[in-house]
Amino acid sequence: MSKWLELRRVFFPMLMMCGATALAQKPADAYPGVARLATASEVAAWDIDVRADFKGLPKGAGSVAQGQDVWEAKCAACHGVFGESNEVFNPVIGGVTAQDVERGRVANLTRSDYPSRTTLMKLATLSTLWDYINRAMPWNAPKSLSVNEVYAVVAYMLHLSEVVPDPFVLSDHNIAQVQQRMPNRLGMTTDHAMWPGREWGRRASRPDTANTACMKNCATDPQVASLLPDFARNAHGNLRDQNRLVGPQRGANTLLADASAPSAGVGAAISPLAAGNKASMALLTQHNCTACHGLERKIVGPALTDVAKRYNGQADVLVVKIKSGGVGVWGPIPMPAQNLPDADAKAIAAWLARGAPR
Ligand code: HEC
Ligand code: HEC
């Protein structure tokens, strides 16, 4: 089966769930043997979006008081009792006033000295808040809230933001009216350039989409302009564990636990050299070397421990080999030239040259 067909097999069921038009075309007939029609309940399970005009919003209701209970049980641990915490994310609540509710624009958004941009400051459409919480929160158990719990917790958040009084019951009947009180409902604009734009007193320049591609004398290796400061790395003591599912992140080696901060669970500080080994192994994954090289196992290319034995202490030789590729040293299969940053190639080479230790 060709790649295209394989892809289609995966994507067709997804496309079909996107709407009735796709269903009407009956791709199952158009491409016999490929895919099948999604069932009504499969479509319903995907079709949960709530539009700005509230199309798709399920019927239901919840009060501010019920919402406070939901918030304290299921949200406060991460977002703070009043939604003010910036522990997991920007604060959700704060920074809006009764005047903003009247005006439909949030005054603090235009202040350069205001410390943060909370969700309720920026949010223009209430449907977005409802939809997002319904599909994505609580973060550790998405889609676990009942419809009425979503109404209730949204009501509570709106109450904290001076949009609705207490007691108040938010429901599918009155949500459109409440939309008319959203603090930043008139704040959505396409009339802006790259930040900072007009609201900061700059005459708006053109948006970044007007950039033209560089054609000559272009910078090749990007320079890192800002870094997470060392003291902030591992601020919670378990940076590695937090990233264990996704691996290293661009711009920061999250596998490198701060030697001064014991990694959670292990309990003992790891040595900088051991951390460097981990970091190099992470680079192998990041740059897909592991698709062809096993640590101790030949795959398409030689086992890295064998490479390490042959080029013991020769980091300089290894850097060149990694970047330019080659053929014939280990067999007839060529190794393609590898396009990775010099710093990463050097780190891998140094690690190989010291024996590819774990
Ligand atoms: C386990 C921690 C955790 C819990 C519990 C949690 N959240 Fe979140 N919340 C997050 C994280 C992390 C983000 C940022 C997610 C992202 O950007 O991908 C977030 C984002 C949000 C946002 C979007 C903010 C924005 O401006 O984009 C809202 C609204 C929100 N949470 C509401 C809730 C509500 C309501 C609950 C309780 C029902 C809840 N959260 C429970 C961690 C949590
Ligand atoms: C598409 C498969 C493939 C990928 C991806 C790949 N390699 Fe290789 N690699 C090979 C093969 C095959 C050889 C053996 C080449 C030969 O016989 O000269 C090899 C050889 C090597 C050698 C020894 C070269 C020599 O002349 O002895 C090093 C070092 C090496 N690879 C490192 C890496 C690193 C680091 C990466 C990731 C940045 C990587 N490889 C990605 C297939 C691959």
> 139 CB under 6 A from ligand 1?
yes
Neighbour-count burial of 150, counting CB atoms closer than 10 A to its CB (0-12 exposed, 13-18 middle, 19+ buried): buried
How far away, in angstroms, is 137 Cα from ligand 1 center?
A: 6
Cβ(79) – ligand 1 distance below 6 Å:
yes
Q: What is the pLDDT of residue 272?
A: 55
Q: Which numbered atom of ligand 1 lies nearest the CA of 132?
A: 29
Q: How far is the CA of 338 from the centre of ligand 2 (A)?
A: 9
Q: Which ligand has an atom closest to residue 353 CA?
A: 2
User: What is the structure's pLDDT at 53?
Assistant: 95
The answer to whether 257 touches 268, Cβ cutoff 8 Å, is: no
Considering every ligand atom, which ligand is closest to the CA of 87?
1
CA of 83 to the centre of ligand 1 (A): 10
Q: Which pLDDT score, from 0 to 100, does residue 112 have? A: 75
In contact, 248 and 239? CB cutoff 8 Å? no
Residue nearest to atom 26 of ligand 1 (CA): 119
Q: So what's the pLDDT on residue 138?
A: 95
Report which protein residue has its CA nearest ligand 1's atom 43: 139
Buried b (16+ CB within 10 A) or exposed e, 108-142: bbeeeeeeeebbbbbbbbbbebbbebbeebbeeee
- CB-based contacts of 6: which residues, under 8 Å, 6+ apart? none
Q: What is the pLDDT of residue 244?
A: 65
- What's the rounded Cα separation, in Å, for the pair 204 and 194? 8
Distance of CA 129 from the midpoint of ligand 1 (Å): 11
Cβ neighbours for 344, distance < 8 A, ≥ 6 positions apart: 283, 286, 287
Residue 323 Cα to ligand 2 midpoint, Å, equals 9
Cis preceding linkage at 167, omega within 30 = yes
CA 42 to CA 184: how far, in whole Å?
36
Q: Which ligand is nearest to the CA of 347?
A: 2
Which pLDDT value is given to residue 355? 92
- Residue to probe by mutation, ligand 1, list 87, 88, 96, 157, most atoms within 8 Å of CB: 88
Indicate the residue type of 190: T
Largest Cα–Cα separation, the chain: 78
Question: CB of 88 closer than 6 A to ligand 1?
Answer: yes
The ligand with the least distance to the CA atom of 307 is 2
pLDDT tens figures, 303-350: 999 999 999 989 999 999 999 999 999 988 889 899 898 889 999 999
Looking at ligand 1, which atom is closest to the CA of residue 157? 35
Q: Which ligand is nearest to the CA of 140?
A: 1
CA 323/CA 342 separation, integer angstroms:
8
Ligand 2 contacts (CB < 6 A) are 287-289, 291-293, 300-302, 307, 318, 321-322, 326-331, 333, 335-336, 338, 340, 348
Residue 223 is encoded by which pair of tokens?
Answer: 């320079």
Count Cβ atoms within 10 A of the Cβ of residue 183 and give its class: 0-12 exposed, 13-18 middle, 19 or more buried.
buried
pLDDT in 10s for each residue of the chain, 358 residues: 344 444 444 444 444 444 444 444 455 567 788 888 899 999 998 999 999 999 999 999 999 999 999 999 999 999 999 999 888 888 999 999 999 999 999 999 888 778 888 999 999 999 999 999 999 999 999 999 999 999 999 999 999 999 999 999 999 999 999 999 999 999 987 666 666 666 666 665 666 666 678 888 887 777 777 766 777 777 777 777 776 666 555 556 666 654 343 333 333 334 456 668 888 888 998 898 988 899 998 988 999 999 999 999 899 999 999 999 999 999 888 898 998 988 899 999 999 999 998 8
Query: Is 87 touching ligand 1 by the criterion CB < 6 Å?
Result: no
